[in-house]
Amino acid sequence: MANEWIGIVMEKAPVYAKGALDLTIRKRLELAMIQKRGNIMLNHDGSYEEYYDVDYAEPPVTGFGEGARAVFERRNYLKQAKKNSRGHIATDEMHIHEKALLAHKSSNIVNRYNRIVPKLIDSIKKQIGFEMYVDGGAAGNENKFEGFETFCGHTQCSTADKVAQPNDTYNNLSTALGQAGTWSTDLTTSPNATQDVDWPVGKGDPEYDYWSPKLINYNSTAWGTGFQTWSANCERVLRAAASWLSITVGVDRADLVSLISSELLDEFKNVVAAKGRTLLEHPEARDLGFPDIVNYDGIALQASFGIPAGSAYVFDVGKTQLEFVENQMVMTDGPTWDPNSQSFKFTARSFGNYVWCPKHVAKIADFASA
């Protein structure tokens, strides 16, 4: 048959798409760890804009003695966040002239699209990986998946501050500190002079920082090394990130991953090596097929393409989701004949989004300069 190639390509395209998620996960530790915890969702049942509950407060506990009377009142512990799905598409086409040139042997067409269809799928896979770091709320990014930078907007801090103040909005909720509740003020020097509380150390009400990421300034004079450089402060900064996430949200360190720009990771390794120490492999990363991932204070440290220079993110993979609307990460259509352009159309697409809990994320950067 003259068009038997159509059936062959249409049959093979879904096979490539079906393996897209597994191939992507095998190349990205963070996605492998997220999947291991059951947090990559296919065929996600949700509308274009979907509301979901965020638990931001706890019931107050008061002293109670003999003869006292309990006080009852209705309390609200939830706020509603609003998430949506974003979309990607990659396309190709074969004009009728090209078909005529290749049609003497249908295998010529099949061979061409045995290469083209995987490339379309691969482009989408790479884009989804890159978008883990994107600001999905910025102009021009309305259709991109919402990455870390979507909720890491901040007020510039001073070089004396260990942390910057979050001032962003994510899924319709503000990331600002202190919208409700209070936090302790026992420290002589606050990690952020403007906020003027002990956060992210000390103690306080859960609603004080229920939607706030930790924005850690590695360029601070307060780290006690006498220098304002990553190489001088990196060990203290990474330890602080793990400690602050553990203290404020009770994160299991086995769930912590740091995605770190390659130049920062190289500097960190040089610092450790200069002290005659050896970084061990991360046990879970090794078991998942990533023997080159190192362990530091329980954190899996990984450099990855696309991370903004001078930045690192430490986050809880157990509180991170990647949702896809359809039953595969990538879906394909075509070849479909278009009589107007006299061509066959090929499409690969993906609809979904990342879903984060900002409180379970720390970003490390020079917040005194940006």
Tell me how far apart the alpha carbons of residues 195 and 226 are, in angstroms, rounded to a whole number: 24
Q: What's the distance, Cα to Cα, between the start and end of the chain in Å?
A: 63
- Quote the pLDDT of residue 47: 61
Question: Which residue type sits at 182?
Answer: T
* pLDDT-derived band at 226, boundaries 50, 70, 90: very high
C-alpha–C-alpha distance, residues 356 and 370, integer Å: 23
Q: Where are the alpha helices (DSSP H) in the chain?
A: 4-18, 20-27, 29-36, 96-102, 106-130, 230-249, 262-274, 283-287
According to DSSP, the residues that pair with 86 across neighbouring strands are 352
Per-residue pLDDT tens digits for 60-81 = 777 888 888 878 777 777 888 9
pLDDT in tens, 140-185: 999 999 999 999 999 999 999 999 999 999 999 999 999 999 999 9
Q: Torsions phi, psi of 343, nearest 5?
A: -150, 160
85 half-sphere exposure, CB direction, 13 A CA radius = 20
Model pTM score: 0.90
In whole angstroms, give the CA distance from residue 342 to residue 346: 13
Nearest 10 degrees: Cα torsion 143, 149, 151, 154: -140
CA angle 253, 257, 260 (to 5 degrees): 140
Question: Domain residue spans in the chain?
Answer: 1-59+81-370
What average pLDDT score do residues 184-193 get? 97
The fold of 1-59+81-370 is phage-related protein like fold (3.90.1690)
pLDDT digits (tens, 9 = 90+) for 82-117: 999 999 999 988 888 877 777 666 677 777 777 888
The amino acid at residue 266 is D
Q: Which two tokens stand for residue 330?
A: 């990538």
CB atoms within 10 A of CB 103: 14
Q: According to the model, what pLDDT value does residue 279 have?
A: 93
Among 221, 220, 218, 219, smallest CA distance to 238 is for: 218
Q: Are 166 and 149 in contact (CB under 8 A)?
A: no
Return the closest-CA partner of residue 156 out of 217, 203, 65. 217
Which residues are CB-contacts of 47 (< 8 A; sequence separation ≥ 6)?
A: none
Q: What does the angle CA 55 – CA 40 – CA 33 come to, to the nearest 5 degrees?
A: 95
